[in-house]
Amino acid sequence: MRDGFLRVAAASPAVRVADVEANIDNILTVCKAAADDGAAMVVLPELCITGYTCGDLFHNATLLEAAARGLERLVNELDERLGLVFAGMPVMCDNTLYNCAVAVSRGCVYGAIPKTYLPAYNEFYEKRWFAPAPDSPRDVVIGQYETTMWARMIFDLEGVRVGAELCEDLWAPLPPSTELSLAGAELMVNLSASDDVIGKYAYLRDLVAQQSARCLGAYVYASAGFGESSTDLVFDAKLFIAENGRMLAENKRWTRGDQHVTADIDIEAVRRDRMHLRTFADCAARHRASGCIIKCVAHPAPADGLIRYVDAHPFVPSDAAHLSDRCEEILHIQTSGLCQRLAATHCRSLVIGISGGLDSTLALLVAVRAFDSMQIPRTGIVAVTMPGFGTTGRTYNNAMGLMRALGVTIREISIVPAVTQHFSDIGHDPAVHDVTYENSQARERTQLLMDIANQCGGMVLGTGDLSELALGWATYNGDHMSMYGVNSGVPKTLVQHLVRYTALAEACEADVSAYLLDIVDTPISPELIPADEHGNIKQKTEDLVGPYELHDFYLYYMLRYGFGPRRIYLLARKAFGEAYSDDTIKHWLRTFFRRFFAQQFKRSCLPDGPKVGSVTLSPRGDWRMPSDASAALWLAECDSL
């Protein structure tokens, strides 16, 4: 295992039914290919040593003796780089034949796992040849090897707990993999021989992914393919590697010959989820699950990089259809939360500060959807634009145009006179563009919004997003405060997609769409510093705090998995490739942790707001942290990278 990842492979060698020598040749070949990829473990199909479709030949002594000799050859010739290999074969014990997954490495046979649930329908009548797994461990001799046969064995590979089941076991109401996971197995393997009929592939793929999610672990599935008998059925190799509901690797279907796929399982993420999600531990305790642990040989960790896709934008689905569905669902969650708050407070008026930026635009769009849903006239939305020292013509025109197009009530109040007077009152030189200069503007805007809300009997709708909350990029008791923070669960990288999704929706009017698209293309800025000589935005947020796509990446892996700087840096290098240099990733990673800890006090008194995803910073929900926690450990780890 390297950096908390275990590299595994699912393989399907070509078979010749009942030709054990040829099958061992192909098994050794595909195992070597997996070892060349750096795999520590290989999962092979059910009964791959003999072929799955041998039928009544399974009760022939010649085939069974050949299978035992084949296992001996496999153990003697297996690539030394492999720590654990699961191969399928028939195993005789006490005059009874079992369909087993045999766990081996070079020179070692660790155990035989018998199939628990045998199919008994027309095309698969395994009960004709095999018996189901016995209830207790049995001593068994396979060729020259004495070992244990039991369905509840768990193998320790470099500290990773591995359990095994076979084909039909996965389809049972309570699969053995569920019990083994509750007993401590973090990685489950399935040796299978699944035929192909219409619709089965998609169902099986979902089943594998869902079982990995239900077990809060990883699942490696290898099914028989090319070479199996086509007398009544067709077998297409199906290879899946899944982790907690996510498919990491799968093969190309309908390919002849040997196949294998390789992926890195994030064992650290699995362990963090099991620690954090107490339902898993409570279920394990209730069922008193147990299994015997068998230590396997160590495996040298691969020296190369991760064989794993790491999404640079974990909050944003990469598939366009899924992104549209995600955007619509988030908008529904935001709208529903706001509708409930309006109904509970008997409020028919909202006050929103509109800057012409992304966040206030999204809040306005959600407000419009909520009012339309509740059949309240949009004029009850009081949209206030408050030009200041740094407001540019582009953002001002977008704000005014969007408000007119949406039919809300518009109020325009310049904050320049009030802030100028405030500077005079407190003795601040307006030529000094420091934090006092900036925050005075933010607090003046919030005061105006609060007072207008009192005037119209409404409430102030907050516009700040999740990324700003993580970095503390808000003025305390300024834009930091509202009566309801509708964007508080939405990260910045997703805000722009929500606005763009609305702009491109079929029901969106052309003038509204044009303003929304230009807002998406406008640089992100608080506009608290005067524009340049050409009237363009001079103060760009990402120049000051760093790229939001990096910070959202850091935030996701810190909150979702509890990873520290070293692990996040490793993943970020993989995710962003050449988009950012290593020094850039490290620089902004340190900035993230420094600001995240220092700004907790702002999150400790956040307004209410809806949770929309798996990561949120509400002090009443997913994130509870003392405001005076020290960042020393995390910053030291950043400095050591």
User: What residues are annotated to the active site?
Assistant: 46, 115, 167
String of DSSP letters for 295-355: E----PPPSS--SS---S-TTS-SSHHHHHHHHHHHHHHHHHHHHHHHHHHT---EEEE--
How far is C-alpha 401 from the geometric centre of its chain's CA atoms? 38
Q: What are phi and psi of 86, to 5 degrees?
A: -105, 120
Please tell me what DSSP assigns to residue 247.
E
Which pair of tokens denotes residue 402? 């969007």
Reported as half-sphere exposure (CB side, CA atoms, 13 A), residue 498 has a value of 30
3-state per-residue secondary structure call for 193-219: CCCCCCCHHHHHHHHHHHHHHHCCCEE
- Do the beta carbons of residue 641 and residue 569 sit within 8 Å? yes
The alpha carbon torsion through 366, 412, 529, 593 (nearest 10 deg) reads: -20
* Short-list 458, 389, 456, 451, CA closest to 417: 389
String of DSSP letters for 249-287: EEPPSS--S-EEEEEEEEHHHHHHHHHH-HHHHHHHHHH
Which pair of tokens denotes residue 280? 């898993």
Please tell me what DSSP assigns to residue 312.
S
- Do the beta carbons of residue 184 and residue 216 sit within 8 Å? no
| Residue 240 backbone class (left: φ over 0; alpha: ψ -120 to 50; beta: rest) | beta
Residues 150, 153, 157: CA angle, nearest 5 degrees: 145
The alpha carbon torsion through 75, 181, 38, 3 (nearest 10 deg) reads: -140
Give all strands of the β-sheet with 239-243 in edge-to-edge order: 246-250, 239-243, 218-223, 187-192, 160-166, 153-157, 292-295
Distance CA 55, CA 231 (A): 11
Distance CA 357, CA 379 (A): 21
Q: What are phi and psi of 620, to 5 degrees?
A: -100, -5
